[in-house]
Each structure stands twice: as C-alpha cells, then as structure tokens.
C-alpha cells in the first residue's frame, strides 16, 4: 500500500479539484496521469477511468468522481481543502473522494503483484445524476468479454458492508376532472381534479405494499411534487403528483404498480424503474472476503441509492470510508483516519479474495 502520507496527500489533492457532476474531466485527467505514471493501463470512457492489473476473472472496485453542488450554509470555500484536528474539510471529501483515494491506493498496491484474477478500478462520472459512468464501464468490460465476477462499490458506509440496497421507482399519479370557472363549478357539478388527487393520495396510504425485507424494511411511498390548476379562478381539469417509491427485492416493477393502480381512481404512470433493488447473499464468497478483511464490520441494508443498482447479476457490496450522514451537507468532512482505514480494508479485501480463488482452484 502507498505510504500513509501519500494516501492523505492524494485525498487532499483530489478533493481540491472541482468535480461537480458534468465537470469531472479535470479530476479524471489528474487521476489518469497518476495511474499511467505508475505503469497502469488506463482506458478513458468519457470522464470515467477504467484501469486493470492482473489476468483472469474480474474483481471490480467502483466509486465516483463527481459531487453534488455545494449545499447552502458552507462556512468554508468548498474547494479550499482544510485539515483541522484530523478532519479534512472540502466538497466531496466524504462522498466519495475518501473512497476514490482509498481504492486507488489499494489498487496501486497490487500493480506489480501476481494476482490470480484481474483487479479493475473504475473511477466514474455522473453517479450523482444519471449513473452513466458505471454503465459505460460495465459495457466496456462486457465488450472485452470480462464482465465482473464480483464488485465493491465505494460509498461512505463507515466501512460497514451493505449487502442489500433499495431501488427507486418514480411514478406519476394523474387525476382528471372538468375544467370550468370556479364560480360555476358547484352548479355544473364539475369534478375538481385537485380533490380527486387528494382522495387518491389518502387512498394510497392504505395500500399493502408487501412484507418488509429483513434488511431493508418495507417498501415506502412518498408524494413529493404536486401540480394542479392553471389560474386562481379555474377548477383544474388535471392534477398530478410525483411518487417516490423505494423498493425492495421482489417488490419492484409491474406488480407493485398494479397494486397502486387498483387503489386509486386516477392513472398511475411509470416515469422511471431502471434503478432496481439489489441483494447479495450473506453466504457469497465476496461477503465472506469482506468480513475476513474487516471482522468488526456490520452487514446491513442501505436505503440510499448508489451505482450498486447497475450490478445486475453480479455479487456486489457497498462499502467505504466516511459516514453517509455527512454527505451533501455544508462543511462536509472526513477523518484522515477513516481514509487510511479504507485503504487498509480494500487492500485486505483483495488479499482475501485472492486466497479464496486459490483455495477454490486447488
């Protein structure tokens, strides 16, 4: 593994490079140069990087370069990195540049090792927005004929290991009525779409969304954006609500939509269902390697989204340094000790995975 001072210097350097979603190119340039100086083969996919060492089945380390824009309330310059009592302040320091630094350090530790597999490092764009970076990496690995055998997604989890993650469906509930002058609505008996929408939203509260998942809990449904009316004195002929539905394995897609549609008088439209829930069995060799690398780690289910959603058919976990509750907050920070712990964890995980492959081949 790189010396600790170099890992921390790398983390500070990448945190200082602005990489709000859509602006990741400069950071990709910096890290691409670093990897090439260390004699690593690197492919550039847009503003994402894919580096590999070794030969054989692929273990993928995947984390993201982009950040959200600074939230209101920062008391520091978000790109002026400050270290105070072991805390590294800066936009993205926690989410997810701690994982970027730790995964990169672990990856470089094996650049000249004789691994019984391919270790791939994906540093991707657009995780906070569209997920196109990881999709491009997976497509490239598939094109090469080397889809991942297993994957580790770097996100701030306190180095606890998420073996399940909720999915997201975005639905639109549409209620229709009869537009007319508000003064005449009662006499005409005109149906008010806003009232119909309100009744449907109340009805959705009583819908059975299925049994809770043992790690992820229940499916949840929250109306988030409502729209109705074109003018103060016009009864709305249409009213809509966006529904944020956080789903669990087995409770995602058409069947869930049917349950909701049966409970309302309006129309339920699917706007997005591409972000599916994921789950890796606790008995998976990858989970075993992660537990061997960090015996004290808690196995859990995550309600927050990440690029884990794109690991269809791939045993995958989400684990990284930092704390999720610091993500997207003013004065975001991570502890230097957390970054170093992350690098050690990823390094031990590679070794544990290698040992399992050797044992299984014996």
List of E strands, the chain: 41-45, 48-53, 58-64, 82-84, 87-89, 118-124, 148-154, 161-165, 167-176, 180-181, 220-228, 234-235, 238-247, 267-275, 278-279, 299-302, 316-318, 333-335
Which residue in this structure is represented by tokens 């995980």? 349
Measured at the CA of 155, the angle between CA 243 and CA 120, to 5 degrees, comes to 120
Under DSSP, the state recorded for 331 is T
Residues catalogued as catalytic: 66, 127
Burial of 183 (C-beta count, 10 Å sphere; 0-12/13-18/19+): exposed
DSSP string, 251-299: B-SHHHHHHHHHT-SSEEEEEEEEE--EE--TTSHHHHHHHHH-TTPPE
Residue 28 to residue 20: CA distance in whole angstroms: 12
């Amino acid at each position: 593994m790189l010396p600790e001072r170099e890992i921390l210097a790398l983390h500070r350097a990448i945190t200082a490079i602005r990489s709000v979603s859509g602006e990741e190119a400069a950071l990709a340039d910096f890290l691409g140069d670093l990897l090439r100086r260390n004699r690593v083969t690197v492919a550039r996919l847009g503003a994402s990087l894919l580096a590999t060492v070794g030969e054989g089945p692929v273990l993928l380390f995947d984390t993201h370069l982009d950040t959200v824009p600074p939230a209101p309330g920062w008391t520091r310059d978000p790109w002026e990195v400050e270290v105070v009592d072991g805390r590294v302040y800066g936009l993205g320091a926690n989410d997810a540049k701690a994982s970027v630094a730790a995964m990169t350090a672990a990856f470089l530790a094996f650049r000249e090792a004789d691994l019984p597999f391919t270790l791939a490092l994906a540093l991707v764009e657009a995780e906070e927005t569209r997920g196109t970076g990881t999709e491009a990496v997976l497509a490239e690995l598939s094109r090469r004929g080397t889809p991942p055998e297993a994957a580790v997604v770097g996100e701030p989890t306190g180095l606890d290991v998420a073996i399940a993650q909720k999915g997201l469906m975005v639905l639109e509930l549409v209620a229709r009525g009869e537009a007319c002058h508000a003064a005449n609505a009662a006499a005409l008996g005109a149906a008010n779409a806003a009232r119909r929408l309100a009744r449907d939203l109340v009805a959705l509260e009583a819908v059975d969304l299925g049994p809770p998942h043992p790690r992820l809990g229940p499916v949840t449904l929250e109306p988030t954006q409502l729209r109705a009316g074109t003018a103060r004195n016009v009864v709305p002929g249409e009213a809509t609500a966006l529904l944020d539905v956080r789903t669990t394995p087995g409770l995602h897609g058409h069947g869930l939509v049917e349950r909701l549609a049966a409970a309302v008088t309006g129309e339920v439209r699917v706007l997005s269902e591409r972000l599916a829930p994921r789950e890796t069995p606790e008995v998976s060799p990858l989970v075993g390697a992660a537990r061997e690398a960090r015996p004290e780690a808690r196995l859990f289910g995550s309600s927050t989204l990440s690029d884990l959603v794109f690991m269809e058919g791939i045993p995958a976990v989400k684990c990284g340094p930092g704390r999720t509750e610091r993500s997207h907050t003013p004065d975001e920070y991570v502890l230097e000790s957390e970054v170093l712990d992350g690098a050690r964890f990823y390094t031990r995980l590679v070794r544990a995975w290698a040992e399992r492959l050797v044992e299984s081949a014996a």
